[in-house]
Amino acid sequence: MPEFNTMELMVIAASRILENGATVGVGTGAPLAASMLAHKMHAPDLVIMFEAGGIAPVLCKMPISVGDSRSYYRSVMASGMCDIMESCQRGMVDYTFLGGAQIDMYGNLNSTVIGDWEKPKARLPGSGGANDFASFCWRILVITPQDARRFVEKVSFITSPGYLDGPGAREKAGLPEESGPHKVITNMAILGYDEETKRMQVESIHHGFTFEDVQKNCGFPLLKAKNIVATPPPTEKELDVLRKEVDPDGYIIRKG
């Protein structure tokens, strides 16, 4: 087995989820690295869309922000935020990568405040375009460390809606049917969601960890998928492309 670090494993595991011909809305950092890797490895027709307006650019180097000129280089379309959000509302974006300070069992994300709204322990950056992406993209992906302080029973504030309070809640709120949280990729496991209860469940566990390890680092009871598998380790080819073509300067990957 080739040597790899935690961030490399998380990025590679996330990249494998993205299929050829799909559309994905990304920011910068690990989600972009995962999308670029998928494009180079197995999904040459993956359409990468940036919140600021770049659609399907030729990514020779990793942009440092969604507004970086590299996110527009030889793009199919250099549009703007309104066009990207309208594409989400029209149901044209298959995947989005989101994050936050907190996530709960239904995949709701908080990037607004920690604690009481009136007197919070901390104020966070807020939504940006995250609420729009979470509301209208079909499948939400999250890359985050496994930590009981981050995986909480109830988020302090719902910045980006997951399945809200359970089955049928997204539809009642007016959000598209069959849209919502899809996978959470952590340093310990890959988590999905039970179809009936919409609760988070363990589907794949990384080498060196057990279900007990994952549960210990989560603030709510996790469900078990019917068939929990071992996460396939990164291949030499995946690591080579990730290190040499996606992030040769080590902005993201080698910090993991």
Q: According to DSSP H, which parts of the chain are helical? A: 6-15, 30-41, 81-89, 130-136, 169-172, 211-216, 236-241
Active site residue 51: yes
Residue 250 burial (C-beta neighbours within 10 Å; 0-12, 13-18, 19+): exposed
Catalytic hit among 3, 8, 19, 51 = 51
Residue among 220, 166, 228 at smallest CA distance from 195? 166
Cα torsion for 115, 176, 196, 159, to the nearest 10°? -10
Residue 216 burial (C-beta neighbours within 10 Å; 0-12, 13-18, 19+): exposed
Q: According to DSSP H, which parts of 144-203 are helical? A: 169-172
Active site residues: 51
